[in-house]
Amino acid sequence: MTLTSPGPTLGVVGGGQLGRMLAEAAAPLGVEVVVSDPTPDAPAALVARDQVVGDFDDAETVRELAERADYLTFEIELADPDLLEEVAAETDTPVHPDPETLRIIEDKLVQKRRLADAGVPVPDFCEVDSADELREALDDLGYPAMLKARKGGYDGRGNVPVESPDDVDEAFAEIVDAAQGGSPEDPSGVAMVEEMVDFKRELAVMGCLGSERWGDGGEPERDTFPVTETIHREEILRETRSPPEADEDVRERAREVALDVLDVMEGRGVYGIELFQTSDGEILLNEIAPRPHNSGHWTIEGCHTSQFEQHVRAVTGRPLGDTGRRAPTVSTNILGDVDDRQGATLSGEDAIFEAPRAHLHWYGKEEVYPLRKMGHIALVGRTDAAVDDLLADVREVRDGLTFEQ
């Protein structure tokens, strides 16, 4: 593989913070990035070569992106797999991960069924098309349980806990409102319910699928980043810690499950694999993202190769990079702490720059609203650092930040 200037162009459907960080990682590799996004001057536009303005599923937008790119990928599951497949064939532009993988993952029920059929351990689940079906399913699964939108939910939007029979009607109405597709008049096909897992902690593994050219025996090159512990509140990721508190045998089991997940996926790229460690030490799959993921942001400073560089390497057919952890690393999200939508002005950021080994990632979003992800802070320790101490330090810095005016 040779390097040229200008180099190959990677087209990314989606211009949010993931597209922004993909563009930042691509530049040193000699790869230029063009993104598409419906929001003019999207967060990625500042660092990408260019932005095509248009909806994620708009045919003209995606076709223009493909015509300008040597490779296609996506940073959001709202991309249309049928459209990606059609445009890739028309323009002879390879798209990774494969649109078939997006079809599997974009619908959480389809995702769970496919993984369960492959022997990947998952919580008990059931399709529900009405409040009455939900009530009947919970007679078997028991209370509490988690009601999920099959498509379109993220950052807690689309997950509703059902604590008792009295919550069923309201929970189902809420999930229909949050889900992609469906309506109160016809709610079929929008929801699934899952047992509430008694977990000890939540873990994540960033799985990597590369080219057959670099794998063994004609198989795709495979790897995983170190297992990470993820800390959520209100269904929103707040912090990550690597290494996790989990024992080594639990980490190894989590890695094994992640590799089993990769066996089901098609197409090159990085996959965010979210897991539960149950109270008795078992590992269950929670969800998969066919792209870099918030739980892997710590790898930018914490690993020899970041998840974003790895995704660019994989999609463009380069060998995968070293996924080893440099040192204990934690991260925390900077979330909107306001009551109403307003212009985004952060105060207290001097503390980030004053903190040794702290790294700010600002996403460039012009507006802030409650719990919106506006950026993150990574804190890298020395090789013998205690992760609990690192978490305490990064929380102190984060808690001094505010968007309140």
Distance CA 225, CA 37 (A): 29
pLDDT of residue 153: 64
Is 0.85 surpassed by the pTM of this model?
yes
Query: Is 221 one of the annotated binding-site residues?
Result: no
Please list the ranges in the chain whose pLDDT falls under 50: none
| Ordered strands of the 50-53 beta sheet | 50-53, 32-37, 9-13, 71-74
Which residues neighbour 16 within 8 Å (Cβ) at sequence distance 6 or greater? 37, 42, 43, 44, 75, 76, 363
Query: Is 108 one of the annotated binding-site residues?
Result: yes
- Whichever domain contains 215, its CATH number is 3.30.470.20
Domain holding 161, by residue range, is 124-194
- The verdict on 174 and 62 lying in the same domain is no
3-class DSSP state for residue 66?
Answer: helix
Query: Is 252 one of the annotated binding-site residues?
Result: no
Tokens of 404: 């309140």
pLDDT of residue 187: 75
The per-residue pLDDT of the chain, averaged, comes to 94
- The verdict on 211 and 350 lying in the same domain is yes
Structural element, H or E, at residue 378: strand 373-380
Query: Is 148 one of the annotated binding-site residues?
Result: yes
pLDDT of residue 235: 84
Among the three residues 148, 178, 194, which one is the final residue of a domain in this structure? 194
- Please state, in angstroms and as integers, the Cα–Cα distance from residue 240 to each residue in 141, 204, 316, 399, following that order: 30, 9, 28, 16
Query: Is 287 one of the annotated binding-site residues?
Result: yes
Distance CA 42, CA 306 (A): 22
In a domain, 100, yes or no: no
In a domain, 116, yes or no: no
**Domain count within the chain:** 3
Query: Is 286 one of the annotated binding-site residues?
Result: yes
Among the three residues 132, 159, 194, which one is the final residue of a domain in this structure? 194
Tell me the sheet residues that pair with 159: 148
pLDDT of residue 272: 98
Query: Is 159 one of the annotated binding-site residues?
Result: no
